[in-house]
Amino acid sequence: MHEKKDFKKPLIIYYIIALIVVMLLNALLFPQIQRYSVKEVSYSEFLKMLEEGQIKSVQIDETQIAFTPTQQLDDGKTTYFVTNRVTADEKIVDRLIDANVEFAQVVPEEMSPFIEFLLSWVVPLIIFYALGSFMFKRMSKQLGGNSMTFGKSNAKIYVEAQTGKTFADVAGEDEAKDALEEIVDFLHDPQKYRDIGAQLPKGALLVGPPGTGKTLLAKAVAGEAKVPFFSISGSEFVEMFVGMGAARVRDLFKQAGEKAPCIVFIDEIDAIGKRRDNAGMGGNDEREQTLNQLLTEMDGFDAGKGVVILAATNRPEILDKALLRPGRFDRRIPVELPDLAGREAILRVHAKDVKTEPNIDYTQVARATSGCSGAELANIINEAAIAAVKDGRKAVSQRDMEEAIETVIAGYQRKNAVVSPRDKLTVSYHEIGHALVAAKLENAAPVQKITIIPRTSGALGYTMQVDDEERLLMSREQILDKITTYCGGRAAEQLIFGRITSGASNDIEQATKLARAMVTRLGMSDTFGMMALETQSGQYLSGDANLVCSDQTAARIDVEVKQIIANCYEKAMQILTDNKEKLHELAKILLEKETITGIEFMAVLAPNQLPSTFEEQKSDEAGETND
């Protein structure tokens, strides 16, 4: 890194020179331009001069008398005489009037020319300088502390091996690591690539959902390659002043060239790399200038120096095409949500620094966390450790892990929430309705847990289902069974109470989303077949869908979606009607215990069909209870 220059030493020299100049001016020049002097005399001498008519004008205050003689001294300066006033002399005013003496203004006191110069020139300058510095610092803070570093890059620089991360700290992203290991190998031994004529990729773009470890991967590459690592966010390039972003890009690449071989990481590159268009009407000049400068620097950069540009984003669809062409970001590396094996590996990596019991089943935890990112899995481990401390234990147990999963997914338990008996009974039948329908369907995931304890997310209860294996594809039958399971809660309320409540709002939302996806995107509609009727934007963030069809077609889509949900609801109602006695029995048990496991649920519903895995788990839990 560049050493910072110490600007204090030159300033001290300038201060000394200015002080010497002022002292010379005071000694050589100011005495020549002194225009008056003040001379003090005794009161008796003052009376003598008054009697002789030598006083021209006088000024009297409570403590002294200042006067000007009728005849000045021979030194050429105006001389003012001062004497202490004698308060016992009450007739002094009358005597002055009789002598025809004028009463004048206050006589200025004699002042040193040096002091006068300081007060007239130096002190005001110091005051203005202090006020300016204060206002400048205030403005600098409001502008992010960069008001005097307009063209300087804010990149954080980590020197060799100081990122503290290696590929051993990254789990669940084996494909991304394999793609990045080639870059590390090139930085270690570039000559073997040059011998064959291969060139190092100038840039690699890491894309994926939030929390999957894109920044961690970039730091791990620098840690493995043992080269300097520049880290900066895309938003730090863009400021309120036009041209600052482009200057910072130039400065960043200049520093990178001096530190080569090195790695430059730009996080959230979509802040400056957004696709250029005419919609802004000139309002995005600063961002576009920054992007143009980045394109120019990457295009003209010599890859042989060993400078690799890594960038991360979760919005690749909005990036400018010029940024993604070969020669700039040569590689696009997906960093997706981890699969079952990846989630288990991530859990083990984060559990290394946590004291856990030896019988933790990480595979079971990984199954229950389908769709979770690496950051969420790390949070689950941390929540489990906090729960263990609250219970006064010194190691994390399997039960802590399960409770942490529920905490992350549904929120904390509202132990002091007051739920009326009527609402509690309704929730009990609602959740058993979900579980019973799921258990009777062929393609539904097994029930893991049922609870009617309210959660901070707003849920008054929920039914947890965990698949026995990872599902990458879903058939039409599996989706329909999932929609039928969502309909089970509302069907149970209608069947038992003859009324419906607002508790099924989330079920309705999820069922509608699945049914609409079947028709518009998955080609599972008998009416439309393999016809794409909507597009999805922001796949890594919101996943919003936009219809690409006429209004008439949209109306037909709504009709078909409604029919799919109605058929599933009718199927759920039939299952519950056929098992009404079990519905009453299970709802009563859940109402008493508030939480039951999948084993307890299946033991009541179908004791003869209990899977072997459930039997083993039941015997294990019985052994733990006896202990």
pLDDT at 116 over 80: no
pLDDT at 147 over 60: no
Q: Which strand (E) or helix (H) includes residue 449? A: strand 447-451
- Position 175 scores a pLDDT of 85
Query: Of 239, 268, 383, 431, which one is the catalytic site residue?
Result: 431
Percent helix, strand and coil across the chain, each rounded to 5?
A: 55, 15, 35
Q: Which tokens belong to 198? A: 């291969």
Establish whether the linkage from the previous residue to 261 is cis, with ω within 30° of 0. Answer: yes
Domains 156-334 and 421-626 share a fold: no
Best-predicted range by mean pLDDT among 71-85, 397-411, 590-604? 590-604
* Average predicted confidence (pLDDT) for the chain: 79
SS3 568: helix
Confidence label for 621 from pLDDT (cuts 50, 70 and 90): very low
Of 14-23, 226-235, 608-617, the poorest mean pLDDT is in 608-617
Of residues 468 and 367, more confidence is placed in 367
- The string of pLDDT tens digits covering residues 162-207 is 556 788 888 888 888 888 888 888 887 878 888 888 877 778 899 9
**CA–CA gap between residue 36 and residue 110 (Å, rounded):** 8
Of 51-60, 251-260, 287-296, the poorest mean pLDDT is in 51-60
Q: Which strand (E) or helix (H) includes residue 464? A: strand 462-465
Matching CATH number, 156-334, of 3.40.50.1110, 3.40.50.300, 3.20.20.70, 3.30.450.40:
3.40.50.300
pLDDT at 145 over 80: no
pLDDT at 278 over 80: no
Using an 8 Å Cβ cutoff, are 566 and 584 in contact? Answer: no
Best-predicted range by mean pLDDT among 76-80, 213-217, 308-312, 486-490? 486-490
431 as an active site residue: the answer is yes
- The string of pLDDT tens digits covering residues 568-591 is 999 999 999 999 999 999 999 999
**CA–CA gap between residue 523 and residue 503 (Å, rounded):** 31
Using an 8 Å Cβ cutoff, are 205 and 313 in contact? Answer: yes
Query: What separation in angstroms does the CA of 526 have from each of 482, 487, 512?
Result: 19, 22, 17
* Single-letter code of the amino acid located at 606: A
Confidence label for 222 from pLDDT (cuts 50, 70 and 90): confident
- Position 409 scores a pLDDT of 80
Q: Which tokens belong to 441? A: 């369907």
Map out the domains of the chain as residue ranges.
31-110, 156-334, 340-409, 421-626
Q: Which tokens belong to 349? A: 């990596």
Nearest C-alpha neighbor of 269 from the set 219, 214, 222: 214
Confidence label for 619 from pLDDT (cuts 50, 70 and 90): very low
pLDDT at 268 over 60: yes
* Single-letter code of the amino acid located at 508: I
Of residues 33 and 452, more confidence is placed in 452
**CA–CA gap between residue 219 and residue 312 (Å, rounded):** 12
pLDDT at 429 over 90: yes
pLDDT at 57 over 90: no
- Position 5 scores a pLDDT of 46
Matching CATH number, 421-626, of 3.90.226.10, 2.60.120.10, 1.20.58.760, 3.90.76.10:
1.20.58.760
pTM score? 0.69
**CA–CA gap between residue 223 and residue 594 (Å, rounded):** 50
Q: Which tokens belong to 475? A: 């058939």
User: What top-level class would CATH report for the domain 31-110?
Assistant: alpha beta
Confidence label for 481 from pLDDT (cuts 50, 70 and 90): very high
* Single-letter code of the amino acid located at 486: Y
**Dihedral of the CA atoms 253, 255, 258, 261 (nearest 10)?**
-70
- Position 555 scores a pLDDT of 93
Dihedral class, residue 153 (left if φ above 0, else alpha if ψ from -120 to 50, else beta): beta
Confidence label for 627 from pLDDT (cuts 50, 70 and 90): very low
Fold of 340-409: Helicase, Ruva Protein; domain 3 (1.10.8)
pLDDT at 55 over 70: yes
Confidence label for 613 from pLDDT (cuts 50, 70 and 90): very low
pLDDT at 275 over 80: yes
Of residues 10 and 582, more confidence is placed in 582
